[in-house]
Amino acid sequence: MRKPLLSALAGAVMLVVPAGASAGQSHRPVCPGPAHAGAALCHAHVVTDARGTPHVTPAPAGYGPAQFRTAYNLPGAAPSAQTIAIVDAYDSPTVASDLNAYSSAYGLPQCTSANPCFKKVNQNGVAGSYPRKDAGWGLEIALDVEIAHAICPNCKILLVEASSNSLSNLAAAVNTAARLGATQISNSYGGGEYSGESGVTAYNHPGIAITASSGDSGYGSSFPAADPHVVAVGGTTLTLGAGDAWAGESVWSGAGSGCSSYLAAQTWQSSLSNWSLTGCGTKRGIADVAADADPATGAAVYDTTTYQGRSGWFKVGGTSLSSPLIAGVYALAGNAASASYPASLAYANPAALHDVTSGSNGSCTTVMCKGAAGYDGPTGLGTPNGVGGF
């Protein structure tokens, strides 16, 4: 049961969202593109009213910790000390207080001096000298940090803020997160693939589960999700039943997927029994696994770094939601250190996942743009059903 909200939330603005199911609820990209060469966009989408104005409510309007943990059959805590790093661009000056407001609303542990479960640093690992504020990336940061805490309440959260949204600065922030002891690193951003990506080493940290969102533009590949060292995370529409139980999932139409143009698949992927149906040949397939990403079935997010003139409770989706969610699941499993490629853990036990077999994210002649039995592009091997696949 949700606890009463803080009095500070009372001033939030109530707007009316048009009625509709998952396909009909209006939303917009939080970081509109296109991204220029060598840069990334965040992969969050915020629910809006009919005029395109972000919808803000005085109380949470999306899925919260109980919905995600119940639907995905997740334990309440990690079995050992885990640190989930969130890598994003620019600064959210209100992220610490927003996280505690979110935690208060849902009865989660507060991050305080007595319980130092949250830390923010710049891309060099310094707590201070942060980059400039950015409202769009600020909402992305709020989503990532709050969802990581929602999924794994006893994990430490390390936010590493890159100086800009350039892929080089974001890569530097990933290396900093690994150097500072992260056991999982979530990356809810991406850009177009490019020929030089084969020389990027920042996402190669064996034993650390590095998740990367697959994108929000439908069928088509992106980087760093294309990197075979990461766990590429696709997106679904999550339907809940009685008591928040899992009642089904389908491909979210915006989820990115495809075959990498430059990078090779690892053998644990290319040896899948239905790999020939992907059409990828020797190239890396996106995604590996998936989780809820549809903004209409998205997460409640609290953010007071004003976005488009609004602050308070937003409803946010995109594969920016699925990436930190899956990073949290890896933390709950506590197994990433056992594998040089943590993505391979799901391929070793696909029966431990919900297989998503319906829906599509575009047009193609293979399983890389539609749900299918076994592996498919938009949802990989499937979504969590406990932590056995992680």
Distance CA 312, CA 301 (A): 8
- Report if residue 317 sits inside a domain: yes
User: Does pLDDT of 139 surpass 80?
Assistant: yes
- CATH code: domain of residue 166: 3.40.50.200
For residues 367-375, average pLDDT: 98
* DSSP strands (E only) in the chain: 27-29, 41-42, 45-47, 83-89, 118-122, 156-162, 184-187, 189-190, 209-213, 231-240, 246-251, 258-264, 283-286, 289-292, 299-307, 310-317, 353-354, 383-384
User: Does pLDDT of 120 surpass 60?
Assistant: yes
Strands 353-354 and 231-240: unpaired
Distance CA 31, CA 61 (A): 21
User: Does pLDDT of 340 surpass 60?
Assistant: yes
Strands 27-29 and 41-42: unpaired
Residue 41's DSSP bridge partners are 190
- Report if residue 73 sits inside a domain: yes
- Judged on CB neighbours under 10 Å (0-12, 13-18, 19+), 351 is exposed
User: Does pLDDT of 161 surpass 80?
Assistant: yes
Per-residue pLDDT of 282-292, as tens digits, reads 999 999 999 99
> What's the token pair of residue 135?
């409202």
Quick one: the chain helix, strand, coil %, rounded to 5?
25, 25, 45
Look at residues 137, 200, 138, 205 and name the one whose alpha carbon lies nearest to residue 167: 200
User: Does pLDDT of 297 surpass 70?
Assistant: yes
Domain span at 380: 7-384
User: Does pLDDT of 101 surpass 50?
Assistant: yes
pLDDT attached to residue 60: 96
For residues 40-61, average pLDDT: 95
For residue 354, the SS3 value is strand
User: Does pLDDT of 309 surpass 50?
Assistant: yes
For residues 115-134, average pLDDT: 97
For residues 359-376, average pLDDT: 98
pLDDT band (50, 70, 90) for residue 313: very high
Distance CA 174, CA 160 (A): 8
Per-residue pLDDT of 143-154, as tens digits, reads 999 999 999 999
pLDDT attached to residue 5: 34
pLDDT attached to residue 24: 56
pLDDT attached to residue 33: 81
pLDDT attached to residue 35: 78
For residues 21-45, average pLDDT: 84
User: Does pLDDT of 187 surpass 60?
Assistant: yes
- Report if residue 389 sits inside a domain: no
Q: Report residue 88: phi and psi, to 5°.
A: -145, 170
Contacts of 322 (CB under 8 A, 6+ apart): 213, 233, 234, 235, 236, 290, 291, 292, 293
How many CA atoms are closer than 13 Å to the CA of 224, on its beta-carbon side? 27
In the chain, how long is the greatest CA-to-CA distance? 56
User: Does pLDDT of 11 surpass 60?
Assistant: no
- Report if residue 2 sits inside a domain: no
User: Does pLDDT of 6 surpass 90?
Assistant: no
Average per-residue pLDDT in the chain?
93
Per-residue pLDDT of 201-235, as tens digits, reads 999 999 999 999 999 999 999 999 999 999 999 99
User: Does pLDDT of 4 surpass 50?
Assistant: no
| Number of domains present in the structure of the chain | 1
pLDDT attached to residue 98: 98
Instruction: Please state whether the peptide bond connecting residue 245 to the residue before it is cis, i.e. omega within 30 degrees of 0.
Output: no
pLDDT attached to residue 34: 81
pLDDT band (50, 70, 90) for residue 25: confident
User: Does pLDDT of 293 surpass 50?
Assistant: yes
For residues 122-148, average pLDDT: 97
- Report if residue 1 sits inside a domain: no
Instruction: Decide: 313 and 293 in contact? Cβ < 8 Å.
Output: no
- Report if residue 81 sits inside a domain: yes
